[in-house]
Amino acid sequence: MKTQQTLSPTDTLEELIKWLLPEQANLQVDRLVFTPGELTLLVTSTQPVGRCPVCEKATRRIHSRYWRTLEDLPWGANRLRLRVHVRRFVCATASCPRKVFTERLGPLAEPSARRTDRLRDALLALGWAVGGEEGSRQGMVHHMPIGASTLLSLMRRHGERTFPTPRVLGVDDWFFQQDHPTGTILVDLERHQPVDLLLGSDEQVLSDWLRSHRGVQIISRDRGAGYRKASERAAPQVKQVLDRWHLLKNLGEVIQKTLAQQIDVLRQAGQQVKNHTQQTSFAPPESAQPDGQRRKPPRRKPSAPSPRRAWQMAMHQQVHELAAEGKTQAEIISRLHLHRQTVRKYLRMPTFVAHYCSPHPSSVEPYRAYLEARWHQGEVMIKTLWRELQGQGFTGSYKSVWTFLRHWPLPAGLTPTSSCSSVAALTRRGAPATPTPWRVKWLLLHKPEELKAKDAAYRQALLYLSPHLSSLSALGQDFVRLIRERQSEALLPWLERAKGCPYEELQRFAHGLEREFPAVQAALTEPWSTGQVEGQITRLKLLKRQMYGRANLDLLRLRVLHAA
Ligand SMILES: [Zn+2]
């Protein structure tokens, strides 16, 4: 039950209250009323005159008075409500279209707002930090209750920020969502501040932005054609700088593609190393350091199974061991204390397949029946199955099909062979599989003396089988050094060499770089890069996840612009 007490302010109390109220609010305190958890201040505006919002002329002619209620910052654990006695004024200008207007409260609150400016700002700060839903929950905890949708509309109304046009602009694309896959983020590289988030990543999007923001002098970008054309057409005077990291990434992709075309040679080299490890031709050079001091190629480690998964796998194994010993189902059940269904399920499963429940079912799930049928017909090439699904309108990636199928046991009678390489590689756990183009690229981009003996031997075997690859290796290493050490004078000779190399992919890469030579050159002479932009994209992804992946672009944009 609420009890109510009314106090008349003494001088000291009035002083305290004034001190707690917003500064320059021009309020005279009349009453303080409090109920548990809530304080109400009855105040009167003391502004001497009213100023017409249309003609801006001051007037003292009062039309009428009314009460306005404003929510303010809480006092301790109490919500604070201001009941302000305000006036309506009659405009002093006869010709003014506004005859009567309400009193403006200046720095206290906006016209017709239900919250004081300082409460609004506190709520907005919450919104920018944690979003609408969580902001609403936090507001409740901190005695500033607000609904999530009200907070969101407050953020939309007050969130627009304008920035001066950057002199040095970093631009990159980012993944938005299924319907609008890509967006463009623009970052002021000098101020370390994202300045805009645009939908789409094509030429038009950036051109439009550049046309309405004159004054950019330098653009740092990746090698995508969209941004290049946009910069050339909408702002031809702007100096373009390619990003060094993206250049190295592109080179890596080129080498990987080239190697993928020679997968048989890669496999053969692996086989030779295996067969001839004892032979001197593949022995490590004598000057070699002990293995411990050498660099190891990075490996994509399979993630460790969760305790639950590990337990399931152990149980699956024990069920099969007991069955192999001739134990009946009932005996296995009583021995392992498992449910009857579980034991049956494990017995049907030659290899353990986890049926984990993902909150987002795989996009491949609708095709399960088709895949099962094909699998049992013996089609275990994941790439082939992926192509077949594409023929049926599947739009997901190869990776999603691979993830879906990777734990499926091979059909009976089928042994892992090179005809099902992806599965074969997975079933031969621990055995050294053919190095992937990705891994071989890494081996080629390092000097033999930097590698472990086993890797150096593989590298040597590979170059022995395909001598041209040493030119690919040398060109790759030189390009990495050229970029890292910013040797701009070495660029032109490198391009000439690359254009004359026997690998078509690399030739194309060189021709492409030549076409935008000034931008590549600038990558080596200018300090700018899109590294900062990548950082902003990471932050953006974090915000997007916080918004449960269903972020509207406008809100996401505002939050990104406020987060920095
Ligand atoms: Zn007026």
Per-residue tens of pLDDT for the chain, all 564 residues: 446 666 565 667 777 787 788 777 788 888 889 898 899 999 998 888 889 999 999 999 999 999 999 999 998 899 999 999 999 999 989 899 999 999 998 888 988 899 999 999 999 999 998 888 899 999 999 999 999 999 999 999 988 888 899 999 999 988 887 677 788 999 999 999 999 999 888 889 999 999 999 889 999 998 888 899 999 888 899 999 999 999 999 999 899 888 888 888 888 888 888 776 544 444 444 444 444 555 655 555 555 667 777 888 888 888 988 998 888 888 888 888 888 888 888 887 766 666 544 445 578 877 887 888 888 777 888 888 888 888 777 888 888 888 888 777 777 666 554 334 444 444 344 344 567 788 889 889 888 888 888 888 888 888 888 888 888 999 999 999 999 999 889 999 999 999 998 888 899 999 999 999 999 999 999 899 888 888 888 888 888 887 765 668 888 888 888 876
What pLDDT shows up at residue 294?
57
Chain-centre distance for alpha carbon 530: 15
Ligand 1 center to residue 90 CA distance, Å? 8
Ligand 1 center to residue 89 CA distance, Å? 10
Which segments of 325-367 does DSSP mark as H helices, in order? 329-336, 340-348
Ligand 1 center to residue 58 CA distance, Å? 9
Ligand 1 center to residue 104 CA distance, Å? 13
Q: Are 240 and 522 in contact (CB under 8 A)?
A: yes
CB burial of residue 362 (10 Å; 0-12, 13-18, 19+): middle
Ligand 1 center to residue 61 CA distance, Å? 12
Ligand 1 center to residue 490 CA distance, Å? 72
Ligand 1 center to residue 158 CA distance, Å? 27
Q: Are 432 and 270 in contact (CB under 8 A)?
A: yes
Ligand 1 center to residue 97 CA distance, Å? 7
What pLDDT shows up at residue 137?
94
Ligand 1 center to residue 359 CA distance, Å? 60
The DSSP code for 130 is H
> DSSP letters along 225-273, please?
HHHHHHHHHH-TTSEEEE-HHHHHHHHHHHHHHHHHTTHHHHHHHHHHH
Ligand 1 center to residue 443 CA distance, Å? 79
Ligand 1 center to residue 56 CA distance, Å? 6
Ligand 1 center to residue 190 CA distance, Å? 46
Ligand 1 center to residue 99 CA distance, Å? 7
Residue pLDDT, tens place only, 44-96: 988 888 899 999 999 999 999 999 999 999 988 999 999 999 999 999 898 99
Ligand 1 center to residue 59 CA distance, Å? 9
Ligand 1 center to residue 486 CA distance, Å? 66
Inter-residue long-range contacts of 227-231, CB under 8 Å, 24+ positions, other chains counted: 227/171, 227/201, 227/203, 228/516, 228/519, 229/203, 230/203, 230/204, 230/205, 230/206, 231/206
Cα-based distances in Å from 66 to 44, 85, 397: 10, 6, 64
Fold of 168-243+529-562: Nucleotidyltransferase; domain 5 (3.30.420)
Ligand 1 center to residue 52 CA distance, Å? 5
Ligand 1 center to residue 53 CA distance, Å? 7
Ligand 1 center to residue 47 CA distance, Å? 18
Ligand 1 center to residue 94 CA distance, Å? 8
Give which of 250, 201, 174 is closest to 533, Cα–Cα: 174
Ligand 1 center to residue 109 CA distance, Å? 21
Ligand 1 center to residue 55 CA distance, Å? 4
Q: Tokens representing 193? A: 């501040």
Ligand 1 center to residue 100 CA distance, Å? 8
Ligand 1 center to residue 102 CA distance, Å? 11
Residue pLDDT, tens place only, 5-16: 665 656 677 777
Ligand 1 center to residue 107 CA distance, Å? 21
pTM of the model: 0.63
Ligand 1 center to residue 85 CA distance, Å? 22
Between strands 239-242 and 182-188, the pairing is unpaired
Fold of 303-357: Arc Repressor Mutant, subunit A (1.10.10)
Ligand 1 center to residue 120 CA distance, Å? 29
Ligand 1 center to residue 108 CA distance, Å? 22
